[in-house]
Amino acid sequence: MVKQIVFSIALLITLGVFTYSIQRYFRYFKFTKKKHLDHLWKRLWKTIEIAGFQQKIFRRPVIGLVHASVFWGFMVIIFGSIEMVFDGLLGTEKIFSCLGWFYTFMMATGDIFALIIAIAMIIFVARRVIFHIKRFSGIEMKPVSEYDALLALTLIFLLMISLMGMNTFYFLWAHKTGEPMAGAYPVAQHIWAPLFGYVTPQQAWFWYQFNWWFHILTIFIFANILPYSKHFHVFLSIPNVFISRLEPYGYIENMPNITKEVKLMLDPNATFDETEEEGEPERFGALDVDDLKWTNYFNSLACTECGRCTSVCPANITGKLLSPRKVMMNTRARMKEKGPGLLKEGKSYDDGKHLIFDYLTEEELWACTMCNACAQECPIEINQPSIILEARRYLVMEESKAPAELNTVFTNIENNGAPWQYAQDDRLLWAEGLDVPVMADKLANNEKPEYLLWVGSAGAFDDRYKKVMQAFVKILNYLKVDFAVLGTEESDSGDVARRSGNEMLFQMQALTNIEVLNGYDVKKIVTCDPHDFNTLKNEYPDLGGNYEVVHHTQFLKKFLDEGKIKINSDKFANSTITYHDPCYLGRANGEYDAPRELLKAIPSVKVEMEKNRSFSMCCGAGGGQMFKEAEKGEKEIFIDRTEQALETGADIICTACPFCMTMLTDGIKYKNKEEEVKNYDIAELVAMSLEL
């Protein structure tokens, strides 16, 4: 009875303090922006895959196995912890033993996992204290973060030691008294019990009880430290996966309030569904933490500070200030600072500080390439780039504070429909001398081509990429594909504007293009530009543009599979080719195989860079970077990536994106390797192999 009373009091205190602690965080959610969660079954499945099967943790298989074992171990051990709560409250002993074989299985598995987790804790501490793994350091990592991690690891270690102690002395007690034993404890029986065989039954019972109390009280203490520690993720990481985005990494959410404004600008007589909720007028983008969505804030609370995101960030790797982990930690810290004031004074509270400027500088924000490597690497699916994008939207649309070069790009897109200062009327010059049908002519002849070839601004105006377009058109004609281009009716897709924070300009471009495309009743689009591929495929549907969009590598692969592309030249037989995955084809849309299958068909030696497929590193051009000076750092991203390509010994660096081509060509020049190393798009290699 005394045990029950003491236990009940301890449990009540634990639950009371825990509830108080977590409500301190959760009461701030009401100040964040709404976001609707749909597709609940899809979310559940994603949670099972990523959290249950620890899918992303296994991206690094060795340490991933250690992490996954800890997670799975906790899932099993928690069964025993729940039993302890029942036993403590009801004064019973191993109440779940009535479950028979299942109980035996759970106890035996938990006993094995306790040893595995204890060893894992020693490994984790060693990685921090002895091996000083790089991702555990960074400007955002203060000594307190390190102490926090070490305290949590120590508490988990003690939990496992006491669990093994409990099992060992329970086994010894049952063994020495001949009482029936509930469950099975293989590690306790075969490893630990022989070391304590000298204890009497009374001593065994005493130490069993001692470990029982030590274990449960440590759980209670740990549960109340967690909300003040980065290890809060123990509770939040699974729900964080559940609320994470379902769309491809390349997708950016639409801003409906901008759509309305742009539609009115394009057509002052446009009508809207007046039943739509008006809501309070919103700031464009995010200046402070309460301008972010609740999912962003949830992400920040769930962040484990593991640093996997920062360790793959091309900006951070090359010495720039940006660290996606810092973005998340600062978001959390800012809410902690501003939240109490918001509670007292409401949304109008102003302490003179902001997330942008005071916590995240413009230099950090403009260093991002929007490559999504951070999001891909995050084990719990945090969306770091979305906060960076919201901040850029604020800087551009509310304060007109984009870097000067990007302002020039915006003006060019607005005036000429391209990031460069070329006339819209010159958009078809690249096709001179080639058989390139134009949509308007086709329509005039009552013809409707099967495919629309989306040329993109780089294809139309960039001297190097014009050659790629020409090569691709030769292949299309060789394959007798029924296609046409928009010609002077095509305008920039708006990808650069959107990722640079100019949502207004993006939507103007998108809505104008969609009107043209829908006017021709376009159904299928093929493009060589992965950025436009991503935007047209994933983002135009939000604005009424629904098309079947393929990248030229996917398109050519289909013809290769059908046997219509028959490469019989051995022009590249003595060449060594390495392929650079464009972020917006690979990471953003999951296409890694089509380009490699095409290359496989070209007789040559193929070599992979160390960072390839989903581990590939950005060339440094995305997110508007191609058009501006890089932020200061130790090195430019394009030089780093080119060096990685050169390390393979390849004499051809192949890619499938106009931006990557520009960056890698510059990189080859920078390294003075133009004589030995060439840079080709896959379309060019295929065209040359077909001798077109």
> Which residues in this chain contact ligand SF4 in the complex, by CB under 6 A?
303-309, 313-315, 322, 324-325, 328, 368-374, 377-378, 380, 382, 384-385
Q: How far is the CB of 312 from ligand SF4 (least distance, A)?
A: 6
CA distance 654 to 687: 14
Q: How far is the CB of 614 from ligand SF4 (least distance, A)?
A: 13
Q: Which is nearer to ligand SF4, 329 or 682 (CB)?
A: 329
In degrees to the nearest 10, what's the CA dihedral of 299, 583, 546, 460?
140
Q: Which is nearer to ligand SF4, 193 or 395 (CB)?
A: 395
Q: Which is nearer to ligand SF4, 466 or 499 (CB)?
A: 499
Q: Which is nearer to ligand SF4, 437 or 667 (CB)?
A: 667
DSSP-assigned beta bridge partners for residue 356 = 360
Q: What totals of helices (H) and strands (E) does the chain contain, helices first?
A: 28, 8
Q: How far is the CB of 21 from ligand SF4 (least distance, A)?
A: 20
Contacts of 404 (CB under 8 A, 6+ apart): none
Strand-strand pairing, 451-454 and 678-681? unpaired
Q: Which of 413, 431, 423 is nearest to 512 (CA)?
A: 413
Q: Residue 196 is encoded by which pair of tokens?
A: 């304590």
Length of the chain: 692
CA distance 532 to 150: 46
CA distance 332 to 34: 18
Q: Which is nearer to ligand SF4, 303 or 439 (CB)?
A: 303
Q: How far is the CB of 320 from ligand SF4 (least distance, A)?
A: 9
Q: How far is the CB of 644 from ligand SF4 (least distance, A)?
A: 16
Q: Are 33 and 293 spatial neighbours (Cβ–Cβ below 8 Å)?
A: yes
Buried b / exposed e across 500-529, counting CB within 10 Å, b at 16+? Answer: bbbbbbbbbbbbbbbebbeebebeebbbbb
Q: Which is nearer to ligand SF4, 292 or 517 (CB)?
A: 292
Q: How far is the CB of 373 from ligand SF4 (least distance, A)?
A: 4
Q: Which is nearer to ligand SF4, 370 or 567 (CB)?
A: 370
Q: How far is the CB of 620 from ligand SF4 (least distance, A)?
A: 9
Q: Which is nearer to ligand SF4, 212 or 251 (CB)?
A: 251
Q: How far is the CB of 345 from ligand SF4 (least distance, A)?
A: 31
CA distance 212 to 72: 22
Contacts of 156 (CB under 8 A, 6+ apart): 70, 117, 121, 222
CA distance 210 to 214: 6
Q: How far is the CB of 381 from ligand SF4 (least distance, A)?
A: 8
DSSP-assigned beta bridge partners for residue 402 = none
Q: How far is the CB of 301 from ligand SF4 (least distance, A)?
A: 11
Q: Which is nearer to ligand SF4, 331 or 554 (CB)?
A: 331
Q: How far is the CB of 323 from ligand SF4 (least distance, A)?
A: 8
Helix ranges restricted to H, 27-142 = 40-47, 61-90, 101-129
Q: Residue 52 is encoded by which pair of tokens?
A: 């249950």
Q: How far is the CB of 108 from ligand SF4 (least distance, A)?
A: 32
Q: Which of 519, 502, 514, 569 is nearest to 545 (CA)?
A: 514
Q: Which of 190, 205, 170, 196 is nearest to 83 (CA)?
A: 170
The DSSP letter of residue 583 is T
Contacts of 327 (CB under 8 A, 6+ apart): 360, 364, 384, 387, 388
Q: How far is the CB of 29 from ligand SF4 (least distance, A)?
A: 19
Q: Which is nearer to ligand SF4, 172 or 619 (CB)?
A: 619
Q: Which of 35, 172, 31, 7 is nearest to 92 (CA)?
A: 7
Q: Which amino acid is at 498?
A: R
Q: Are 469 and 459 spatial neighbours (Cβ–Cβ below 8 Å)?
A: yes
Q: Which is nearer to ligand SF4, 371 or 460 (CB)?
A: 371
Q: Which is nearer to ligand SF4, 376 or 507 (CB)?
A: 376
Helix, strand or coil, per DSSP, at residue 151: helix
Q: Which is nearer to ligand SF4, 420 or 615 (CB)?
A: 615
